[in-house]
Structures are given as C-alpha cells and as structure tokens.
C-alpha cells in the first residue's frame, strides 16, 4: 500500500482528494494537515510514502513545509499540488526537495499515476511546469544562484520588513539576516535592498507587488 498524507488548508479539497484516493486499491490516506506546521507533525508521526502538498497555507508556505517534512521523514516523497505555477513557486519547491509538482486541474488519473510514480522514486512534473524548468535551465538568471533562505529574506524585504523584523520572523539573528542580504547583493551584482528585490522580481523569484 502507498501511504499518503494530504496537506491543504481547505477541508473540502482534502475531502475530495481523500475520496479519489480511497477508491484506489493500492493507496491509503493515513493523515491530513491544514497548515505547514501540522504537516511536519503528521509526517513525523506517520512517515508516509507520499505527501500531497499545497503551497499556500497558514503557518508557513508549502516550500517551508516540504523542507520540514523531508527533515522529519527523509524517505517520504513530497508532491506539490497547487494552482500556482510561477517560477518562484516551482524553483522553491524543487530546491526544497519536492519530487513532483502538479496543478490542481490535473485529472484523477494523472493524480493517481503521479502518486504511484513518486512512490517508485520517480520525478513527476505537470507539462507546463516541466517546460518552465527546461526554459530556466537554458536561460539562467543570476538570481538562480540564490539559496532558498536568501530568497525568503528578500521576500520579507519586499514586504517592507527591517532586518530586525526579518530576524524575528525567521528566528535568526539580525547579523545573519545582514549576511544573507550581502550574499544576495554579491550574487545579483547589486548594492542595495531595493535593487536586489527588483532583480529577484525580474527573475520570477518574487511576486511583483
């Protein structure tokens, strides 16, 4: 049996996914979570084969949750299931260790096939997502060298937070925030916060406000 956990903050979505998967003879839903924090807790307790992960949730996004799940249950395969397909979302999920990236308009057959493939150790990508990744590989941007943490710091800078506020948000010191920013400046070839955020937005790593 392929043991699956469903992570989505909408109960109706989780119920729909559970109904689809419970009809499959080789798939068992062993847990559900409505937030990033809860996803890590349930994954640690259940050690599932596959986690279906939403990207937009309270208590941290799906990228953070993916990294947390894989730390708590290293043998688990995370498949992102979302309506979002920006470069920032896709690259963030892949860098966090996601084994797949599907869109919520996937058919029932595609979803089940993706879960089985992920459980076998394969990578599963929606066609449009695969195209974006290939294009990104062919036409890299300096921002692609940014680490997930550096992107997260710039995301909070874009929201107008100070270094001290970013440190509190990410549970790191203000000095560490400054280090992340300076490394970002070097990689992007810029000298200030505004230019770094602008470059990251242009690269598709941050959403334009």
* Domain positions in the chain: 2-138, 142-202
d(CA 74, CA 49) in angstroms, rounded, equals: 10
Is 26:72 a contact under the CB 8 Å cutoff? no
Higher pLDDT residue, 166 or 203?
166
**φ, ψ of residue 176 in degrees (nearest 5):** -65, -40
Would the pLDDT of 141 be above 70?
no
pLDDT score at 209: 55
pLDDT score at 84: 79
Which range among 79-88, 116-125, 151-160 shows the weakest confidence by mean pLDDT? Answer: 79-88
- Same CATH topology for 2-138 and 142-202? no
d(CA 97, CA 67) in angstroms, rounded, equals: 7
d(CA 86, CA 163) in angstroms, rounded, equals: 26
79: which strand partners? 52, 100
d(CA 48, CA 78) in angstroms, rounded, equals: 10
CATH architecture of 142-202: Orthogonal Bundle (1.10)
What is the mean predicted confidence (pLDDT) over 132-149? Answer: 71
Is 65:80 a contact under the CB 8 Å cutoff? no
* Beta-carbon contacts of residue 185 (< 8 Å; ≥ 6 apart): 191, 192, 195, 196
pLDDT score at 127: 78
d(CA 11, CA 32) in angstroms, rounded, equals: 9
pTM reported for the whole predicted model? 0.67
- Cα 204 → chain centroid: 15
pLDDT score at 10: 94
Domain 2-138: which CATH class?
alpha beta
Contacts made by residues 60-66, CB under 8 angstroms, sequence distance 24+: 60/35, 60/36, 61/36, 62/7, 62/36, 62/93, 63/89, 63/92, 63/93, 63/95, 63/96, 63/148, 64/36, 64/96, 65/7, 65/36, 65/37, 65/39, 65/40, 66/93, 66/96, 66/97, 66/98
Interval 33-63: pLDDT, tens: 999 899 999 999 999 999 999 988 877 788 8
Q: Which pairing describes strands 27-33 and 50-53: parallel, antiparallel, or unpaired?
A: unpaired
Would the pLDDT of 136 be above 70?
no
Higher pLDDT residue, 74 or 203?
74
125: which strand partners? 101
The 3-state DSSP class for residue 80 equals: strand
d(CA 59, CA 43) in angstroms, rounded, equals: 16
């Amino acid at each position: 049996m392929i043991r699956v956990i469903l992570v989505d903050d909408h109960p109706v979505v989780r119920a729909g996914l559970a109904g689809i998967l419970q009809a499959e003879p080789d798939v068992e839903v062993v847990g559900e979570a409505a937030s990033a924090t809860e996803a890590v807790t349930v994954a640690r307790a259940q050690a599932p084969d596959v986690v279906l992960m939403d990207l937009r949730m309270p208590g941290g996004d799906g990228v953070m949750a993916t990294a947390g799940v894989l730390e708590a249950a290293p043998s688990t395969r995370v498949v992102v299931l979302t309506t979002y397909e920006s470069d920032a979302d896709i690259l963030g999920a892949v860098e966090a260790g996601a084994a797949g990236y599907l869109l919520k308009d996937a058919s029932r057959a595609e979803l089940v096939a993706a879960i089985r493939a992920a459980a076998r150790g394969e990578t599963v990508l929606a066609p449009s997502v695969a195209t974006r990744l290939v294009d990104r590989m062919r036409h890299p941007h300096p921002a692609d060298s940014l680490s997930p943490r550096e992107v997260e710091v710039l995301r909070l800078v874009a929201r107008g937070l100070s270094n001290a506020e970013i440190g509190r948000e990410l549970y790191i010191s203000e000095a560490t925030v400054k280090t992340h920013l300076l490394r970002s400046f070097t990689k992007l070839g810029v000298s200030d916060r505004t230019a770094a955020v602008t470059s990251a937005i242009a690269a598709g790593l941050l959403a334009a406000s």
